Amino acid sequence: MKLQQIKYIFEVARNQLNVSATAEALFTSQPGISKQIRLLEDELGVEIFVRSGKHLTNITPAGREILPIAENMLKQVRSIQNIAASHVNQKEGRLNLAASHTFSRYFLPDIVDSYRHQYSNVTMHIYQGEGDNLDRELDDGKLDLALVHAGEEVFTDKIQLPCFYWNRSIIVPKMHPLASTEEISFDLLAQYPLLTHTSSGGKTNRIEQIFKENGFSPEIVFSATDCEIIKSYVRMGLGVGIIANMAYEEHLDEDLVSISIENLFPKSLVNVVFDRNLYFREFIFAFIESLAPQLSKELILQAQQTKSSAKISRLVETSLIPIL
């Protein structure tokens, strides 16, 4: 039994039994994967996959018992590799982070700049993804951390710790009637066409939901995950933009006026998410603490040992969570 064979059966199952797609993902040949799977089945004396001609059509009962163990074996191998690497150099390695466009563009630059002064030998990759893909990438070790809105994604056996809150604001041109308004209300906003910022790839529009909860049906003429796009259309006069307040940059957006609407919309919580079995190296602890000072090394390790999600959520005092 070879580790490569274990990896092949796991990846084939993960790719819906598509050997061709698996070969492409692993940069190898389809016949090579099929041969190694056959050799493993011959050695074990059982079939892992059901076949119809040359195609895999299902997973056998034995395969359903073997595959979870194979997945765990691959995770343990990654842990061994991480432990070995940590003993070589705690300040050198690769950090893979998933974050939305908004966080990557407006929140992370200052964090990364400061972090790089201390961990200049850490290579960073910021990935923009969502949903089941994030859960799977964390499972596979392709991601170390993910920044996600609380409640928007479903994760399996992952640790979610509160990182920060953010609020919304409206943006309008300087000559717009709302630019000099002292207090913004739902009734007032509902009189104008709206351009809204959405997350989760545009699957949900929380702004519209909150308007309806307060008895209003806004005219949302445009939505986007990129706040810069919303700014461009506001400048064109298409409507009033609703964006994350962190996205307004005074030195770049001098032609626009930003007005807080935190009195209308609740602040949004962002969690940092990681696999329960992630092996933390010093530079990963340090990066999380740079994102959220309330998340110390000791608290993170305690969270990994805590099984209840409710108990994990109580590890951090709400008053300590920063508001951007």
Element at 77 (helix H, strand E): helix 61-88
Q: Which residues does 139 contact at the CB level (< 8 Å), separation at least 6?
A: 71, 156, 275
Residue that has been written with the tokens 């950090």 in this structure: 95
Q: How far apart are CA 272 and CA 290, in angstroms?
A: 12
pLDDT at 202: 47
Q: Which residues does 150 contact at the CB level (< 8 Å), separation at least 6?
A: 160, 162, 268, 269, 270, 271
Angle between helices 3-14 and 19-26 (to 10 degrees): 120
For residue range 96-153, list pLDDT tens digits in order: 999 988 999 999 999 999 999 999 999 999 998 666 688 888 888 889 999 998 877 7
Overall pTM > 0.75? no
Tokens of 12: 């084939």
pLDDT at 197: 81
Average pLDDT of the chain to the nearest whole number: 90
Phi, psi for 249 (deg, rounded to 5): -115, 105
Res. 76 pLDDT band, cuts 50 70 90:
confident
For residue range 82-94, list pLDDT tens digits in order: 677 666 667 788 8
Res. 182 pLDDT band, cuts 50 70 90:
confident
Strands 92-98 and 145-149 come out as parallel
Domains with residue ranges and CATH for the chain: 3-85 (1.10.10.10), 92-163+270-320 (3.40.190.10), 168-260 (3.40.190.10)
For residue range 208-253, list pLDDT tens digits in order: 889 999 999 999 999 888 899 999 999 999 999 999 999 999 999 9
